[in-house]
Amino acid sequence: MNELIPHEHPALTALKTTGDFIKFTVTLGTGSIVLSVGLLNGTTRLPLLSKAYLAVSWGCLAISVILGVIAFSRIPVQIQEGEHDIHDAWLTIPAMIHEIAFMLGIIFLGLALLITMFFGSPADPCAC
């Protein structure tokens, strides 16, 4: 029965899985940026530290998204060339920086949200 199911080379499977993971984190990073912009809608006055953490978060997440796209764009090239090298420098280096920047961006976003939650105050409704 197993002879009827075609099997991919393990390196190709690893490369495709890496691509799926990069797509997942790029999507989460982009969504985090878009949703966190909602903090600036004026309903809450953000503390200065929260604004600073939010700016750092956006920077990290932007770097993560850009490098994720660069790393992901290397995968189709490898598949087309028949090189299924998960340790390719044009894939590995941007992907590692992408993941580190993603984690830092999420951590700083969480800190900004926590500070806003505990130390933020409602915006002045009369300041129109």
Task: Give the Cα separation of 119 and 38 in Å (integer).
Answer: 18
Question: For the chain, what is the mean pLDDT?
Answer: 88
At residue 2, the pLDDT reads 53
Domain residue spans in the chain?
Answer: 10-119
Catalogue the long-range contacts made by 37-46 (C-beta closer than 8 Å, 24 or more residues apart): 39/112, 39/113, 39/116, 42/123, 43/122, 43/123, 44/116, 44/120, 44/121, 44/122, 44/123, 45/120, 45/121, 45/122, 45/123, 45/124, 46/112, 46/116, 46/120
Note the pLDDT tens digit of each residue in 46-70.
Answer: 899 999 999 999 999 999 999 999 9
Report percent pLDDT > 70 for the chain.
Answer: 90
Could you tell me the two tokens for 6?
A: 């075609």
